[in-house]
Amino acid sequence: MEDFLKLVIATGASFLFLSLVFMPMERVFPAKKKQKILRSNWVLDLCYFLGQYLLWNGLVLMLLNILGNWLDGVMPRDFRLLVGNQPLWLQATEVILLSDLFIYWGHRIQHKVDFLWRFHKVHHSTEHLDWLAAHREHPLDTIYTVGLINLPALLLGFDLEALSILVAFRGIWAIYIHSNVRLPIGPLKYIIGSPELHHWHHDIERDAGNYANVSPLMDLVFGTYSCPPSEPEKVGIKEAFPKSYLGQLAKPVLPESIWKLLIRKRKTDPARVANGCPDEIK
Protein backbone atom coordinates (compact mmCIF):
# COMPACT_ATOMS: atom_id res chain seq x y z
CA MET A 1 0.00 0.00 0.00
CA GLU A 2 2.85 2.33 0.88
CA ASP A 3 4.58 1.62 -2.46
CA PHE A 4 1.36 2.30 -4.35
CA LEU A 5 0.93 5.60 -2.50
CA LYS A 6 4.47 6.60 -3.49
CA LEU A 7 3.67 5.69 -7.09
CA VAL A 8 0.51 7.84 -7.03
CA ILE A 9 2.46 10.77 -5.57
CA ALA A 10 5.20 10.37 -8.20
CA THR A 11 2.58 10.25 -10.96
CA GLY A 12 0.91 13.40 -9.66
CA ALA A 13 4.27 15.15 -9.41
CA SER A 14 5.14 14.12 -12.99
CA PHE A 15 1.81 15.42 -14.28
CA LEU A 16 2.30 18.73 -12.45
CA PHE A 17 5.88 19.10 -13.71
CA LEU A 18 4.96 18.37 -17.34
CA SER A 19 1.95 20.69 -17.14
CA LEU A 20 4.06 23.54 -15.81
CA VAL A 21 6.68 23.01 -18.52
CA PHE A 22 4.55 22.43 -21.61
CA MET A 23 1.26 24.25 -21.07
CA PRO A 24 2.89 27.71 -21.00
CA MET A 25 4.95 26.82 -24.09
CA GLU A 26 1.79 25.76 -25.92
CA ARG A 27 0.10 29.02 -25.04
CA VAL A 28 3.03 31.28 -25.98
CA PHE A 29 4.33 29.39 -29.05
CA PRO A 30 1.30 27.47 -30.36
CA ALA A 31 1.57 25.44 -33.54
CA LYS A 32 -2.22 25.57 -33.85
CA LYS A 33 -3.46 28.76 -32.23
CA LYS A 34 -7.12 27.76 -31.95
CA GLN A 35 -6.49 24.48 -30.18
CA LYS A 36 -7.69 24.50 -26.58
CA ILE A 37 -5.82 22.88 -23.69
CA LEU A 38 -8.93 20.90 -22.73
CA ARG A 39 -9.57 19.85 -26.33
CA SER A 40 -11.69 16.87 -27.31
CA ASN A 41 -10.39 13.47 -26.14
CA TRP A 42 -8.27 15.17 -23.46
CA VAL A 43 -9.73 12.78 -20.86
CA LEU A 44 -8.87 9.79 -23.05
CA ASP A 45 -5.24 10.88 -23.23
CA LEU A 46 -5.25 11.49 -19.47
CA CYS A 47 -6.28 7.84 -19.08
CA TYR A 48 -3.24 6.87 -21.15
CA PHE A 49 -1.01 9.07 -19.00
CA LEU A 50 -2.29 7.49 -15.78
CA GLY A 51 -2.14 3.98 -17.23
CA GLN A 52 1.41 4.49 -18.40
CA TYR A 53 2.69 5.84 -15.08
CA LEU A 54 0.64 3.68 -12.72
CA LEU A 55 0.60 0.37 -14.61
CA TRP A 56 2.63 -0.11 -17.74
CA ASN A 57 5.98 1.54 -16.95
CA GLY A 58 6.63 -1.05 -14.24
CA LEU A 59 5.91 -3.89 -16.67
CA VAL A 60 8.21 -2.38 -19.30
CA LEU A 61 11.09 -2.01 -16.81
CA MET A 62 10.61 -5.58 -15.61
CA LEU A 63 10.80 -6.94 -19.17
CA LEU A 64 13.87 -4.79 -19.88
CA ASN A 65 15.61 -6.27 -16.85
CA ILE A 66 14.74 -9.78 -18.03
CA LEU A 67 16.12 -9.01 -21.49
CA GLY A 68 19.26 -7.44 -19.99
CA ASN A 69 19.90 -10.47 -17.78
CA TRP A 70 19.44 -12.81 -20.74
CA LEU A 71 21.86 -10.79 -22.87
CA ASP A 72 24.41 -10.86 -20.04
CA GLY A 73 24.72 -14.59 -20.61
CA VAL A 74 24.81 -14.34 -24.41
CA MET A 75 27.17 -11.47 -25.26
CA PRO A 76 30.93 -12.21 -25.00
CA ARG A 77 32.36 -10.87 -21.72
CA ASP A 78 35.61 -9.68 -23.35
CA PHE A 79 33.64 -7.60 -25.86
CA ARG A 80 31.62 -5.95 -23.09
CA LEU A 81 34.79 -5.16 -21.13
CA LEU A 82 36.26 -3.56 -24.25
CA VAL A 83 33.18 -1.40 -24.66
CA GLY A 84 33.15 -0.47 -20.97
CA ASN A 85 36.78 0.70 -21.10
CA GLN A 86 36.01 3.34 -23.71
CA PRO A 87 35.74 7.02 -22.69
CA LEU A 88 32.29 7.86 -21.36
CA TRP A 89 31.67 10.47 -24.09
CA LEU A 90 32.38 7.86 -26.77
CA GLN A 91 30.06 5.33 -25.13
CA ALA A 92 27.27 7.92 -24.92
CA THR A 93 27.77 8.83 -28.61
CA GLU A 94 27.62 5.18 -29.64
CA VAL A 95 24.44 4.57 -27.66
CA ILE A 96 22.72 7.66 -29.09
CA LEU A 97 23.61 6.85 -32.72
CA LEU A 98 22.79 3.15 -32.45
CA SER A 99 19.54 3.87 -30.60
CA ASP A 100 18.51 6.35 -33.29
CA LEU A 101 19.32 3.81 -35.99
CA PHE A 102 17.39 1.02 -34.25
CA ILE A 103 14.34 3.14 -33.47
CA TYR A 104 14.30 4.69 -36.95
CA TRP A 105 14.01 1.33 -38.69
CA GLY A 106 11.83 -0.13 -35.97
CA HIS A 107 9.46 2.82 -36.30
CA ARG A 108 9.46 2.72 -40.08
CA ILE A 109 8.63 -1.00 -40.00
CA GLN A 110 5.71 -0.24 -37.66
CA HIS A 111 4.14 1.75 -40.48
CA LYS A 112 4.77 -0.97 -43.08
CA VAL A 113 3.90 -4.23 -41.29
CA ASP A 114 0.19 -4.61 -40.57
CA PHE A 115 0.69 -6.64 -37.37
CA LEU A 116 2.86 -3.89 -35.85
CA TRP A 117 0.65 -1.11 -37.25
CA ARG A 118 -2.43 -2.47 -35.46
CA PHE A 119 -0.74 -1.56 -32.16
CA HIS A 120 1.10 1.56 -33.34
CA LYS A 121 -2.02 3.13 -34.84
CA VAL A 122 -3.32 3.59 -31.29
CA HIS A 123 -0.68 6.29 -30.97
CA HIS A 124 -1.59 7.76 -34.35
CA SER A 125 -5.32 7.76 -33.62
CA THR A 126 -5.07 11.09 -31.80
CA GLU A 127 -6.61 13.95 -33.78
CA HIS A 128 -5.01 16.69 -31.65
CA LEU A 129 -1.30 16.88 -30.92
CA ASP A 130 -0.05 18.24 -27.62
CA TRP A 131 2.13 17.13 -24.71
CA LEU A 132 -0.58 14.88 -23.28
CA ALA A 133 -1.28 13.17 -26.62
CA ALA A 134 2.30 11.90 -26.57
CA HIS A 135 1.21 9.37 -23.94
CA ARG A 136 -1.42 7.73 -26.13
CA GLU A 137 0.37 4.47 -26.78
CA HIS A 138 -0.62 0.82 -26.53
CA PRO A 139 1.39 -0.98 -23.79
CA LEU A 140 2.66 -3.60 -26.26
CA ASP A 141 3.75 -0.80 -28.58
CA THR A 142 5.59 0.79 -25.65
CA ILE A 143 7.40 -2.48 -24.92
CA TYR A 144 8.47 -2.70 -28.57
CA THR A 145 9.63 0.93 -28.74
CA VAL A 146 11.41 1.11 -25.38
CA GLY A 147 13.02 -2.26 -26.05
CA LEU A 148 14.47 -1.03 -29.35
CA ILE A 149 15.68 2.25 -27.85
CA ASN A 150 17.55 0.45 -25.07
CA LEU A 151 18.67 -2.60 -27.06
CA PRO A 152 22.04 -1.11 -28.12
CA ALA A 153 22.87 -0.28 -24.50
CA LEU A 154 21.89 -3.80 -23.42
CA LEU A 155 23.84 -5.46 -26.22
CA LEU A 156 26.99 -3.46 -25.49
CA GLY A 157 26.69 -4.00 -21.77
CA PHE A 158 26.08 -0.43 -20.63
CA ASP A 159 24.60 0.00 -17.20
CA LEU A 160 21.04 1.30 -17.67
CA GLU A 161 21.25 3.13 -14.33
CA ALA A 162 24.29 5.00 -15.60
CA LEU A 163 22.26 5.98 -18.66
CA SER A 164 19.19 7.03 -16.68
CA ILE A 165 19.73 10.70 -17.58
CA LEU A 166 19.74 9.80 -21.28
CA VAL A 167 16.61 7.67 -20.87
CA ALA A 168 14.82 10.49 -19.05
CA PHE A 169 15.92 12.98 -21.72
CA ARG A 170 14.52 10.78 -24.49
CA GLY A 171 11.21 10.58 -22.63
CA ILE A 172 10.95 14.36 -22.25
CA TRP A 173 11.99 14.85 -25.86
CA ALA A 174 9.27 12.48 -27.07
CA ILE A 175 6.71 14.59 -25.21
CA TYR A 176 8.17 17.82 -26.59
CA ILE A 177 7.99 16.78 -30.26
CA HIS A 178 4.28 15.96 -29.83
CA SER A 179 3.49 19.24 -28.07
CA ASN A 180 1.39 21.96 -29.70
CA VAL A 181 4.48 24.10 -30.06
CA ARG A 182 6.19 25.64 -33.06
CA LEU A 183 9.65 27.07 -32.47
CA PRO A 184 11.49 27.37 -35.80
CA ILE A 185 15.18 26.67 -35.24
CA GLY A 186 16.57 27.42 -38.69
CA PRO A 187 19.30 25.14 -40.06
CA LEU A 188 19.41 23.27 -36.73
CA LYS A 189 16.25 21.45 -37.84
CA TYR A 190 18.53 19.16 -39.88
CA ILE A 191 20.29 18.05 -36.69
CA ILE A 192 17.72 18.37 -33.91
CA GLY A 193 14.23 16.88 -33.97
CA SER A 194 11.32 19.23 -33.35
CA PRO A 195 7.50 19.38 -33.21
CA GLU A 196 7.34 20.89 -36.71
CA LEU A 197 8.92 17.69 -38.06
CA HIS A 198 7.05 15.18 -35.93
CA HIS A 199 3.66 16.79 -36.48
CA TRP A 200 4.04 15.94 -40.16
CA HIS A 201 4.82 12.35 -39.18
CA HIS A 202 1.31 12.33 -37.64
CA ASP A 203 -0.28 13.56 -40.87
CA ILE A 204 -3.29 11.43 -41.75
CA GLU A 205 -1.26 9.81 -44.52
CA ARG A 206 0.27 6.68 -42.99
CA ASP A 207 3.67 7.02 -44.71
CA ALA A 208 4.35 10.70 -44.15
CA GLY A 209 8.03 10.19 -43.18
CA ASN A 210 10.02 11.67 -40.24
CA TYR A 211 10.45 8.38 -38.37
CA ALA A 212 13.42 9.55 -36.27
CA ASN A 213 13.11 10.91 -32.74
CA VAL A 214 15.94 12.90 -31.17
CA SER A 215 17.67 13.77 -34.45
CA PRO A 216 16.37 13.71 -38.06
CA LEU A 217 19.76 12.54 -39.37
CA MET A 218 18.45 9.04 -40.11
CA ASP A 219 15.54 10.50 -42.08
CA LEU A 220 17.99 12.60 -44.09
CA VAL A 221 20.26 9.61 -44.74
CA PHE A 222 17.44 7.27 -45.79
CA GLY A 223 15.33 9.80 -47.71
CA THR A 224 12.28 10.14 -45.44
CA TYR A 225 12.82 13.69 -44.19
CA SER A 226 9.86 16.06 -44.69
CA CYS A 227 9.44 19.61 -43.38
CA PRO A 228 6.74 21.67 -45.14
CA PRO A 229 6.47 25.29 -43.93
CA SER A 230 3.00 24.88 -42.38
CA GLU A 231 1.25 22.52 -40.00
CA PRO A 232 -0.57 19.45 -41.41
CA GLU A 233 -4.26 20.15 -41.95
CA LYS A 234 -5.35 16.88 -40.37
CA VAL A 235 -3.64 14.32 -38.16
CA GLY A 236 -4.89 10.89 -37.15
CA ILE A 237 -5.72 7.70 -39.04
CA LYS A 238 -8.12 6.87 -41.85
CA GLU A 239 -9.35 3.61 -40.29
CA ALA A 240 -12.40 3.45 -38.03
CA PHE A 241 -11.13 3.00 -34.48
CA PRO A 242 -12.55 2.81 -30.94
CA LYS A 243 -12.96 6.07 -29.02
CA SER A 244 -12.64 4.64 -25.50
CA TYR A 245 -9.50 3.70 -23.52
CA LEU A 246 -10.48 0.06 -22.98
CA GLY A 247 -11.65 -0.25 -26.57
CA GLN A 248 -8.33 1.01 -27.91
CA LEU A 249 -6.41 -1.38 -25.67
CA ALA A 250 -8.57 -4.35 -26.60
CA LYS A 251 -9.00 -4.01 -30.38
CA PRO A 252 -5.36 -4.63 -31.42
CA VAL A 253 -5.10 -7.86 -29.40
CA LEU A 254 -8.47 -9.38 -30.35
CA PRO A 255 -9.08 -11.36 -33.55
CA GLU A 256 -11.24 -9.39 -35.97
CA SER A 257 -14.04 -11.98 -35.75
CA ILE A 258 -14.29 -11.58 -31.96
CA TRP A 259 -14.14 -7.79 -32.23
CA LYS A 260 -16.99 -7.72 -34.76
CA LEU A 261 -19.03 -9.99 -32.48
CA LEU A 262 -18.50 -7.59 -29.55
CA ILE A 263 -19.58 -4.65 -31.70
CA ARG A 264 -22.68 -6.51 -32.86
CA LYS A 265 -23.70 -7.32 -29.29
CA ARG A 266 -23.03 -3.76 -28.15
CA LYS A 267 -25.12 -2.28 -30.95
CA THR A 268 -28.07 -4.57 -30.18
CA ASP A 269 -27.90 -4.19 -26.37
CA PRO A 270 -31.50 -3.20 -25.44
CA ALA A 271 -30.40 -1.01 -22.54
CA ARG A 272 -27.99 0.99 -24.75
CA VAL A 273 -30.53 1.30 -27.56
CA ALA A 274 -33.22 2.53 -25.15
CA ASN A 275 -30.87 5.11 -23.62
CA GLY A 276 -29.58 6.29 -26.98
CA CYS A 277 -25.98 5.58 -25.96
CA PRO A 278 -23.34 6.37 -28.59
CA ASP A 279 -21.35 3.51 -29.99
CA GLU A 280 -17.84 4.27 -28.72
CA ILE A 281 -16.12 1.18 -30.03
CA LYS A 282 -17.15 1.14 -33.66
Mean per-residue pLDDT of the chain: 87
Q: Pick the closest to residue 141 from 18, 249, 14 (CA basis).
A: 249
Task: Band the pLDDT of 129: cuts 50, 70, 90.
Answer: very high
Contact 225, 209 (CB under 8 A): yes
Q: Which residue has the higher pLDDT, 50 or 267?
A: 50
Q: Is 109 helix (H, G, I), strand (E, B) or coil?
A: helix
Q: Pick the closest to residue 252 from 237, 267, 265, 266 (CA basis).
A: 237
* Burial letters 100-120, b for 16+ CB under 10 A, else e: bbbbbebbbebbeeeebbbbb
Model pLDDT for residues 178-192, shown as the tens digit of each residue = 999 998 888 888 888
Q: In whole angstroms, what is the distance from residue 85 CA to residue 147 CA? A: 24
Model pLDDT for residues 30-41, shown as the tens digit of each residue = 999 999 989 999
Task: Band the pLDDT of 274: cuts 50, 70, 90.
Answer: very low
- 282 pLDDT more than 70: no
- 14 pLDDT more than 90: yes
Range from 11-15, 42-46, 54-58, 277-281 carrying the lowest mean pLDDT: 277-281
- 280 pLDDT more than 60: no
Q: Which residue has the higher pLDDT, 267 or 168?
A: 168
Task: Band the pLDDT of 262: cuts 50, 70, 90.
Answer: confident
Q: In whole angstroms, what is the distance from residue 197 CA to residue 193 CA? A: 7
Model pLDDT for residues 105-125, shown as the tens digit of each residue = 999 999 999 999 999 999 999
* Burial letters 164-187, b for 16+ CB under 10 A, else e: eebeeebeebbbbbbbbbbeeeee
Q: In whole angstroms, what is the distance from residue 21 CA to residue 220 CA? A: 30
- 270 pLDDT more than 60: no
Q: Where are the domains of the chain?
A: 2-239, 243-282
